[in-house]
């Protein structure tokens, strides 16, 4: 018998330091995307026990809601009021007289991103190959080894070009973790495997930067002990010239602490250690406005953020007044300006909340 699929991916942080600033946020519904097949809808497959499969993803860019739907096999850009700005993919049986729509035959839609010119970047996967080694049994936490290309569409949905590892199509990309577009409209493809992380940066059709972080040595030595460092997360500054790298340090198989580094793409080296986190439950979530680091606590069921500056000082704790409903799936995300949103998959659609 299937169980309800309730995967709550919450940026949390737990703190007992009462002298730090504290902020409590409350949710405000900004949009609801109905379950259906019309333009602006999503397809949510359920049975009597719950969600059959998580086939939809939501991201938010400059007040645009980007919907990736592998049941309807299309990517859509929707405004909070429900207006459909763009449909790319299967448009059979859609009335396209009043909306920009382009037919495209996707394989499996992966990560999606948008830039300031409303270009849409779509990871198009040819197969589903997943490795859950060292990741547990949850499929959503396993690493995706599917061969992929990045498709770049303009704001009318017209395909502009396709990107592989070296630029316009050659070798496919693998293990894609996420897509990020910087303030110069350069696309970052962040890839990971079980033991390595790789960054590809593209300016238009050309790859202008590449690094495999296996070339960096993350080892600490203390009183005869050697602590092996393993990258657990990478975030991109909006300028596209620097990265935040979170590294977990182990003594054997025991996690001892986490360090967050600033890496300069321009200089090609680690510039500084921003902070050391002695409590391994607190992990890097994102960087906002190139000024603030959001951390979350992986052990608490109440959503809480810890916010630090780039000197590593904690400047705020953000609590989310979350009242859990019977959702199939919930996820919290940040937009490019640091706005906190969550989306909640329900039987009749997806509810999108902004936290204020």
Asked whether the beta carbons of 124 and 150 are under 8 A apart, the reply is yes
- Residue-wise pLDDT tens digits, 32-52: 999 999 999 999 987 767 777
Q: Taking residues 221-246, what's their average pLDDT?
A: 92
Residue extents of the structural domains in the chain = 7-355
Considering the segment(s) 7-355 as one domain, its CATH architecture is 6 Propeller (2.120)
Q: Taking residues 139-168, what's their average pLDDT?
A: 85
- Residue-wise pLDDT tens digits, 5-39: 333 333 333 334 434 578 889 999 999 999 999 99
87: left (phi over 0), alpha (psi -120 to 50) or beta: beta
- Residue-wise pLDDT tens digits, 312-356: 999 998 888 877 667 888 899 988 778 899 999 998 999 999 999
Pairing, β 46-47 against β 50-51: antiparallel
Q: Taking residues 82-95, what's their average pLDDT?
A: 94
pTM comes to 0.87
The confidence band for 95, taking pLDDT boundaries of 50, 70 and 90, is confident
- Residue-wise pLDDT tens digits, 102-140: 999 999 999 999 999 999 999 999 865 554 333 333 333
Q: How many Å separate Cα 168 from the centre of its chain?
A: 24
Q: Which residues pair with 74 in a beta bridge?
A: 69, 89
- The proportion of the chain whose per-residue pLDDT surpasses 70, expressed as a percent, equals 87
Per-residue model confidence (pLDDT) at position 321: 81
| CA gap 257, 227 in Å, rounded | 10
Per-residue model confidence (pLDDT) at position 9: 37
């Amino acid at each position: 018998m299937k169980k309800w699929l309730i995967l709550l991916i919450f940026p949390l942080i737990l703190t007992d330091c009462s002298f730090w600033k504290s902020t409590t946020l409350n949710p405000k519904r900004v949009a609801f995307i109905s379950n259906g097949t019309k333009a602006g809808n999503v397809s949510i497959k359920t049975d009597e026990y719950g969600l059959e499969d998580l086939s939809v993803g939501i991201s938010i860019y400059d007040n645009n809601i980007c919907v990736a739907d592998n049941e309807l096999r299309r990517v859509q850009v929707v405004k909070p009021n429900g207006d459909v700005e763009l449909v790319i993919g299967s448009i059979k049986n859609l009335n396209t007289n009043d909306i920009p729509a382009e037919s495209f035959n996707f394989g499996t839609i992966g990560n999606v991103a948008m830039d300031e010119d409303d270009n849409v970047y779509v990871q198009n996967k040819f197969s589903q190959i997943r490795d859950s080694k060292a990741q547990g049994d949850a499929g959503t936490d396993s690493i995706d080894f599917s061969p992929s290309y990045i498709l770049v569409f303009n704001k009318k949905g017209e395909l502009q070009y396709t990107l592989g590892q070296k630029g316009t199509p050659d070798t496919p990309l693998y293990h894609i973790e996420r897509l990020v577009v910087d303030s110069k409209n350069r696309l970052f493809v962040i890839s990971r495997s079980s033991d390595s992380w790789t960054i590809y940066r593209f300016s238009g059709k050309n790859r202008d930067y590449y690094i495999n972080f296996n070339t960096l040595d993350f080892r600490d030595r203390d009183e005869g002990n050697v602590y092996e460092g393993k990258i657990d997360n990478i975030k991109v500054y909006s300028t596209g010239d620097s990265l935040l790298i979170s590294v977990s340090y182990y003594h054997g198989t025991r996690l001892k602490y986490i360090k967050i580094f600033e890496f300069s793409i321009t200089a090609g080296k680690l510039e500084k250690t921003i902070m050391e986190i002695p409590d391994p439950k607190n992990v890097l979530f994102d960087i906002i406005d190139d000024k603030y680091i959001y951390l979350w606590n992986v052990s608490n069921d109440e959503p809480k953020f810890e916010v630090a500056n780039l000197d590593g000082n904690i400047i705020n704790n953000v609590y989310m007044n979350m009242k859990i409903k019977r959702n199939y799936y919930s996820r919290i995300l940040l937009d490019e300006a640091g706005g906190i949103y969550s989306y909640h998959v329900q039987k009749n659609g997806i509810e999108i909340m902004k936290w204020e």
